[in-house]
Chain A
Protein backbone atom coordinates (compact mmCIF):
# COMPACT_ATOMS: atom_id res chain seq x y z
CA UNK A 1 0.00 0.00 0.00
CA UNK A 2 1.24 3.43 -0.94
CA UNK A 3 2.34 5.68 1.92
CA UNK A 4 -0.62 7.75 3.11
CA UNK A 5 0.81 11.26 2.82
CA UNK A 6 -2.20 12.87 4.51
CA UNK A 7 -1.94 10.59 7.56
CA UNK A 8 1.83 11.01 7.59
CA UNK A 9 1.46 14.80 7.73
CA UNK A 10 -1.14 14.58 10.51
CA UNK A 11 1.12 12.28 12.54
CA UNK A 12 4.08 14.62 12.08
CA UNK A 13 2.09 17.69 13.17
CA UNK A 14 0.54 15.83 16.12
CA UNK A 15 4.00 14.66 17.21
CA UNK A 16 5.35 18.24 16.98
CA UNK A 17 2.42 19.50 19.05
CA UNK A 18 3.00 16.77 21.66
CA UNK A 19 6.70 17.65 21.88
CA UNK A 20 6.09 21.39 22.38
CA UNK A 21 3.26 20.70 24.84
CA UNK A 22 5.58 18.44 26.86
CA UNK A 23 8.37 21.07 26.78
CA UNK A 24 5.95 23.78 27.88
CA UNK A 25 4.59 21.61 30.72
CA UNK A 26 8.08 20.65 31.92
CA UNK A 27 9.30 24.27 31.72
CA UNK A 28 6.21 25.35 33.69
CA UNK A 29 7.10 22.83 36.42
CA UNK A 30 10.74 24.03 36.42
CA UNK A 31 9.69 27.72 36.62
CA UNK A 32 7.23 26.91 39.42
CA UNK A 33 9.30 24.56 41.57
CA UNK A 34 12.82 25.76 40.65
CA UNK A 35 12.79 28.74 43.06
CA UNK A 36 11.45 26.49 45.85
CA UNK A 37 13.61 23.39 45.47
CA UNK A 38 16.62 24.20 43.26
CA UNK A 39 17.94 27.76 42.97
CA UNK A 40 16.13 29.58 45.79
CA UNK A 41 16.12 33.41 45.72
CA UNK A 42 18.08 33.84 42.44
CA UNK A 43 15.79 36.21 40.49
CA UNK A 44 17.78 35.89 37.24
CA UNK A 45 17.25 32.14 37.08
CA UNK A 46 13.57 32.56 37.97
CA UNK A 47 13.16 35.16 35.20
CA UNK A 48 14.94 32.85 32.72
CA UNK A 49 12.66 29.99 33.79
CA UNK A 50 9.54 32.08 33.16
CA UNK A 51 10.95 33.40 29.86
CA UNK A 52 11.77 29.87 28.67
CA UNK A 53 8.26 28.76 29.60
CA UNK A 54 6.73 31.65 27.62
CA UNK A 55 8.92 30.86 24.59
CA UNK A 56 7.90 27.18 24.65
CA UNK A 57 4.30 28.39 25.03
CA UNK A 58 4.56 30.43 21.83
CA UNK A 59 6.04 27.43 19.97
CA UNK A 60 3.23 25.25 21.35
CA UNK A 61 0.59 27.70 20.06
CA UNK A 62 2.25 27.80 16.62
CA UNK A 63 2.42 23.98 16.54
CA UNK A 64 -1.28 23.86 17.47
CA UNK A 65 -2.20 26.26 14.65
CA UNK A 66 -0.22 24.12 12.18
CA UNK A 67 -1.89 20.98 13.53
CA UNK A 68 -5.39 22.48 13.21
CA UNK A 69 -4.68 23.68 9.65
CA UNK A 70 -3.63 20.19 8.60
CA UNK A 71 -6.89 18.57 9.77
CA UNK A 72 -9.67 17.76 7.32
CA UNK A 73 -13.07 19.46 7.46
CA UNK A 74 -14.77 16.92 9.77
CA UNK A 75 -11.85 16.93 12.19
CA UNK A 76 -11.86 20.74 12.19
CA UNK A 77 -15.60 20.68 12.94
CA UNK A 78 -15.03 18.34 15.91
CA UNK A 79 -12.22 20.58 17.18
CA UNK A 80 -14.33 23.73 16.73
CA UNK A 81 -17.22 22.22 18.71
CA UNK A 82 -14.82 21.06 21.43
CA UNK A 83 -13.05 24.40 21.72
CA UNK A 84 -16.32 26.36 21.61
CA UNK A 85 -17.84 24.29 24.41
CA UNK A 86 -14.63 24.44 26.48
CA UNK A 87 -14.50 28.24 26.08
CA UNK A 88 -18.17 28.62 27.05
CA UNK A 89 -17.90 26.33 30.07
CA UNK A 90 -14.64 28.05 31.02
CA UNK A 91 -16.13 31.55 30.94
CA UNK A 92 -19.41 30.65 32.66
CA UNK A 93 -17.81 28.27 35.17
CA UNK A 94 -14.85 30.55 35.78
CA UNK A 95 -16.97 33.65 36.42
CA UNK A 96 -19.39 31.73 38.68
CA UNK A 97 -16.43 30.37 40.61
CA UNK A 98 -14.97 33.88 40.87
CA UNK A 99 -18.34 35.20 42.13
CA UNK A 100 -18.40 32.50 44.79
CA UNK A 101 -15.02 33.80 45.94
CA UNK A 102 -15.78 37.55 45.83
CA UNK A 103 -19.12 37.10 47.63
CA UNK A 104 -17.38 34.91 50.25
CA UNK A 105 -19.66 31.95 49.60
CA UNK A 106 -16.57 29.71 49.55
CA UNK A 107 -13.94 29.76 52.25
CA UNK A 108 -10.83 29.52 50.05
CA UNK A 109 -9.58 31.84 47.27
CA UNK A 110 -10.50 30.98 43.67
CA UNK A 111 -7.55 29.19 42.03
CA UNK A 112 -6.83 29.59 38.31
CA UNK A 113 -5.70 25.95 38.20
CA UNK A 114 -9.30 24.78 38.82
CA UNK A 115 -10.41 26.77 35.78
CA UNK A 116 -7.64 25.27 33.62
CA UNK A 117 -8.64 21.76 34.75
CA UNK A 118 -12.33 22.49 34.00
CA UNK A 119 -11.51 23.78 30.49
CA UNK A 120 -9.18 20.84 29.77
CA UNK A 121 -11.68 18.20 30.93
CA UNK A 122 -14.55 19.83 29.01
CA UNK A 123 -12.43 19.98 25.84
CA UNK A 124 -11.31 16.35 26.27
CA UNK A 125 -14.85 15.05 26.87
CA UNK A 126 -16.20 17.06 23.93
CA UNK A 127 -13.53 15.75 21.55
CA UNK A 128 -14.20 12.13 22.60
CA UNK A 129 -17.98 12.60 22.20
CA UNK A 130 -17.44 14.35 18.82
CA UNK A 131 -15.35 11.46 17.48
CA UNK A 132 -17.94 8.93 18.68
CA UNK A 133 -20.79 10.94 17.14
CA UNK A 134 -19.23 10.95 13.66
CA UNK A 135 -17.91 7.36 13.64
Chain B
Protein backbone atom coordinates (compact mmCIF):
# COMPACT_ATOMS: atom_id res chain seq x y z
CA UNK B 1 0.00 0.00 0.00
CA UNK B 2 1.31 3.46 -0.95
CA UNK B 3 0.91 6.47 1.31
CA UNK B 4 1.59 10.20 1.46
CA UNK B 5 2.71 10.22 5.06
CA UNK B 6 6.22 11.51 4.39
CA UNK B 7 4.89 14.40 2.28
CA UNK B 8 2.20 15.31 4.83
CA UNK B 9 4.73 15.15 7.65
CA UNK B 10 7.08 17.47 5.75
CA UNK B 11 4.23 19.87 4.92
CA UNK B 12 3.39 20.06 8.61
CA UNK B 13 7.05 20.53 9.54
CA UNK B 14 7.15 17.43 11.72
CA UNK B 15 10.05 15.09 12.33
CA UNK B 16 9.46 11.34 12.46
CA UNK B 17 9.94 11.54 16.22
CA UNK B 18 7.30 14.31 16.51
CA UNK B 19 4.81 12.33 14.46
CA UNK B 20 5.57 9.15 16.42
CA UNK B 21 4.90 11.04 19.64
CA UNK B 22 1.59 12.41 18.37
CA UNK B 23 0.49 8.95 17.21
CA UNK B 24 1.85 7.22 20.34
CA UNK B 25 3.97 4.78 18.37
CA UNK B 26 7.71 4.30 17.94
CA UNK B 27 9.74 6.29 15.41
CA UNK B 28 10.59 2.96 13.75
CA UNK B 29 6.88 2.40 13.07
CA UNK B 30 6.48 5.82 11.43
CA UNK B 31 9.57 5.13 9.31
CA UNK B 32 8.30 1.66 8.29
CA UNK B 33 4.89 3.08 7.29
CA UNK B 34 6.50 5.89 5.27
CA UNK B 35 8.69 3.40 3.42
CA UNK B 36 5.71 1.14 2.73
CA UNK B 37 7.25 -1.72 4.68
CA UNK B 38 4.41 -1.84 7.16
CA UNK B 39 0.70 -1.17 6.72
CA UNK B 40 -0.90 0.41 9.79
CA UNK B 41 -3.98 -1.03 11.46
CA UNK B 42 -7.34 0.67 10.85
CA UNK B 43 -7.29 2.44 14.28
CA UNK B 44 -3.81 3.85 13.56
CA UNK B 45 -4.84 4.85 10.03
CA UNK B 46 -7.84 6.72 11.51
CA UNK B 47 -5.51 8.40 14.01
CA UNK B 48 -3.26 9.57 11.14
CA UNK B 49 -6.30 10.70 9.20
CA UNK B 50 -7.59 12.71 12.19
CA UNK B 51 -4.18 14.25 12.83
CA UNK B 52 -3.82 15.55 9.26
CA UNK B 53 -7.56 16.25 8.96
CA UNK B 54 -7.83 14.29 5.72
CA UNK B 55 -9.82 11.20 4.71
CA UNK B 56 -7.93 7.91 4.93
CA UNK B 57 -8.14 7.34 1.18
CA UNK B 58 -6.39 10.67 0.59
CA UNK B 59 -3.41 9.40 2.62
CA UNK B 60 -3.34 5.68 1.78
CA UNK B 61 -3.80 4.23 -1.68
CA UNK B 62 -3.71 0.69 -3.04
CA UNK B 63 -0.59 -0.28 -5.03
Contacts and interface: CB of A to CB of B under 8 A. Distances in A.
A2 interface: yes
Contact of A74 (B21, B24, B32): B32
B20 interface: yes
Size bin of chain B's contact surface: 10 to 19
B17 A135 contact: no
A6 B24 CA distance: 6
Contacts, number: 42
B33 to A, nearest CB: 8
Interface of A is mostly: helix
Nearest to A78: B28
Given A73-B25, A75-B29, A134-B28, A6 B37 contact: no
22 contacts: A4-B17, A5-B24, A6-B20, A6-B24, A7-B26, A10-B26, A72-B24, A72-B25, A72-B29, A73-B29, A73-B40, A74-B25, A74-B26, A74-B28, A74-B29, A74-B32, A74-B38, A75-B26, A77-B38, A133-B37, A134-B28, A135-B28
Interface of B: 17, 20-21, 24-26, 28-29, 31-32, 37-38, 40-41, 44
Interface in A70-101: 72-75, 77
A21 to B, nearest CB: 21
Nearest to A6: B24
A73 B28 CA distance: 11
B29 A135 contact: no
A134 B24 contact: no
Interface in A1-56: 1-2, 4-7, 10
